Amino acid sequence: MLRDIDLNEVSDGKLYTAKDMARTDCHDCKGCSDCCHGMGQSIMLDPYDIYNLTMNLDMSCEDLLARYVEFGVDGGVIIPNIRMQEDTDSCGFLTADGRCSVHEFRPGICRLFPLGRYYDGEGFKYFLQVNECAKKDRTKVKIYKYLGIDDLPKYEKFVNDWHYFILDVQKKLNANPECFESANEDNIFLLNLFYMMVYNENVDFYTQFYERLELAKHKLFG
């Protein structure tokens, strides 16, 4: 999340909001699953992704970790990501015929692709990655339609709040690189709070997330 990118190198040079049209529509990815292969640890998962996967698959986070998900480190903070399978170097949710078996509730990064998010210090805008998607005949579509996320303003607020919270945690951990024990403790606390601790299916995700966020801010930043 601390990565610096040169927008001119990777994008069409424009920044978009969800109401804008962008050339993202790859027609249901027919015949292509390129971005489900060889992604290393780049498909990072936020708490909403884990909530969606655990609720819809009726699995715990531990179950997901047994096959589909692994832990990675981003700027000193442990963040789960989609695990590329050893034998195929592809996502474990990809079917033999190259379709996503969790399409309806796929992770936010998968949903977003080939868009990316550009954070400007307060909020974020979308940008179109021009070198990533294999389909070259993509057509224009409104970004909110392409994303297909319920209550997009609420989701975008969550994405933003999560991003800047993790950024603050990264700054805290990187300010004291010699304090391994305390960094370890913070990481375990955050993993348990946001990922491992089961979410209540009868309570709105965002309500639960913001309760946990308050707790985390209190513990880490006082």
Residues in contact with ligand SF4 by CB under 6 A are 26, 29, 32-36, 43, 82, 91, 93-94, 100, 102, 106-107, 110, 113-114, 133-135
The least CB distance from residue 101 to ligand SF4, in Å, is: 7
Structure tokens at 169: 């945690």
The least CB distance from residue 134 to ligand SF4, in Å, is: 4
Instruction: Identify which of residues 99 and 125 has a Cβ nearer to ligand SF4 in the complex.
Output: 99
* SS3 annotation, 122-154: CCEEEEEECCCCCCCCCEEEEHHHHHCCCCHHH
Residues 6+ apart with CB under 8 A from 61: 50, 54, 69, 80, 195, 196, 198
The least CB distance from residue 3 to ligand SF4, in Å, is: 20
Percentage helix, strand, coil for the chain under 3-state DSSP, each rounded to 5: 45, 20, 35
> How many CB atoms are closer than 10 A to CB 140?
12
Structure tokens at 105: 């509730």
Instruction: Identify which of residues 34 and 63 has a Cβ nearer to ligand SF4 in the complex.
Output: 34
Kindly give the interhelix angle for 47-57 and 205-221, rounded to the nearest 10 degrees.
140
Instruction: Identify which of residues 6 and 97 has a Cβ nearer to ligand SF4 in the complex.
Output: 97
| 3-state secondary structure at position 128 | strand
The least CB distance from residue 44 to ligand SF4, in Å, is: 12
Residues 6+ apart with CB under 8 A from 158: 48, 206, 209
The least CB distance from residue 84 to ligand SF4, in Å, is: 9
Instruction: Identify which of residues 1 and 102 has a Cβ nearer to ligand SF4 in the complex.
Output: 102
The least CB distance from residue 140 to ligand SF4, in Å, is: 15
Instruction: Identify which of residues 110 and 166 has a Cβ nearer to ligand SF4 in the complex.
Output: 110
Instruction: Identify which of residues 2 and 134 has a Cβ nearer to ligand SF4 in the complex.
Output: 134
